Structure formats: C-alpha cells, structure tokens
Amino acid sequence: MATSAEETRFELQKTRMLRAAAQCFNQKGYSGTSLRDVADVLGLTDPALYYYVRNKQELVYLCYVRAADLGREALDRALSEGRDGMDVMLRYLRYHIEMMVGDRGPIAIMSEVPSLKPEHREEVLQLSRTHGKNFEAVLQAGIRDGSIADCNVRMTGNAIMGSINWIPKWYHGDAEQGEKLVNEFPEILARGLSVD
C-alpha cells in the first residue's frame, strides 16, 4: 500500500512530467514530439516515463486535462474573489496567465485534440465547452451588473480565450515579459469591454 509521501512524490513527478511534455508539445507539436524528447527535458530514460503513461497519446491527453483543471481553478478563484463581472474577468485572466507563465507553467495548447482517441477527445472537448460557457456566464453577468459593455458573449469569449490560450506558443520563459503579461494583458483584452 502506497504511503501518502509516496503518493505525493508520484504526483509531483507526474506534474513535472506534464509540464515538460507541455513544453515539448507547444514547441514541436504532437507529431514532432517523442517520449524521448520529454525524457530528455526531464533527464530521465524513456522507460521511466512508462511508469506514468502508456504512450504519447495518453501523455497529450493528460496535458490537456491538466490545462483544463488549471483554467477551472483560475476561474473558480476569480468567481470567489470578484466584486462584479469585469472584476471577475480581470482576475480570471490574471490568475490564468500567471499559471501559464509562472511556476505552474507551461500549460499545453489544446491544438492537437484530433490526435486523441475518441473517448479522450470527447472528454477534452466537453471540458473546453464547459469552461467556455462558464466564462461566457461571467461576461453575461458583467453586462447585467453594468460593469461590462453589451457584446456578443460567444464571440467575445472565444476571442479572449483564444488570445490567452495561445500564450504558451509564443511565451518562452522571459520573467520580465511574464510579469508584463500578468499585469498588462488582462487590461488590454478587457479594454473594448469597458463601460467608461
């Protein structure tokens, strides 16, 4: 029976592996990335990865589930702390970007969903659709409370989510740029929604 210390070690190593895999998938894509690439980033042998995953397809699936989990965590935190729709949206963007460029990043870009086997593909797409609807609900709440200008919430939500979800493709670890992203990007994305 595994002890809690062993389980914690396993989860920490698995998270480390998923971050390394996200880095590889973001840089080289699914077809251009091998388990050897991920093992090299981690300083492990290929067989060591098989302790955590069966194959590359499962690895990209787990990266996408992790990305969805972190997005949901950022939105839940913003919802619990925000004062109105605009404040929730800005907090969410800040928290999510902070995860992407901070110690918990990188996060895999969900650009290789077609490579997943059907049941994993449907699960990841459902996670994405649910998150998108929850973000649209924040925009709708902001319109109702007067903090966000009237807009097409579906198009606006897709535009904003597309903007932040692509950050891992062009952000490569520069701490100064990361700080600017956290502090300035949410305001840039929200500027067109201001009621002032």
State which CATH number among 3.50.50.60, 1.10.10.10, 1.10.357.10, 1.20.140.10 fits the domain covering 57-193.
Answer: 1.10.357.10
pTM of model > 0.85? yes
Per-residue pLDDT at 5 = 81
What integer is the mean pLDDT of 139-146?
A: 98
Per-residue pLDDT at 151 = 97
Interval 14-34: pLDDT, tens? 999 999 999 999 999 999 999
Sign of the CA dihedral 75, 77, 79, 85?
Answer: negative
Interval 45-80: pLDDT, tens? 888 888 889 999 999 999 999 999 999 999 999 999
Q: Inform me whether the pLDDT recorded for 2 exceeds 70.
A: no
Burial category of 194 from C-beta neighbours within 10 Å (exposed 0-12, middle 13-18, buried 19 and up): exposed
Query: How sure is the predictor about 165, in pLDDT bands with cuts at 50, 70 and 90?
Result: very high
Q: Inform me whether the pLDDT recorded for 1 exceeds 70.
A: no
> To the nearest whole number, what is the mean pLDDT of the chain?
94
CA–CA separation, 165 and 56 (whole Å): 22
Per-residue pLDDT at 196 = 76
Does residue 114 or residue 140 have the better pLDDT? 140
Interval 82-139: pLDDT, tens? 999 999 999 999 999 999 999 999 999 998 898 899 999 999 999 999 999 999 999 9
Give domain limits for the chain.
57-193
The closest of 33, 78, 88, 84 to 57, measured between CA atoms, is: 33
Per-residue pLDDT at 115 = 87
At a CB cut-off of 8 Å and minimum separation 6, what does 92 contact? 74, 75, 77, 78, 79, 82, 135, 138
Burial category of 32 from C-beta neighbours within 10 Å (exposed 0-12, middle 13-18, buried 19 and up): exposed
DSSP category for residue 45: -
DSSP category for residue 102: S
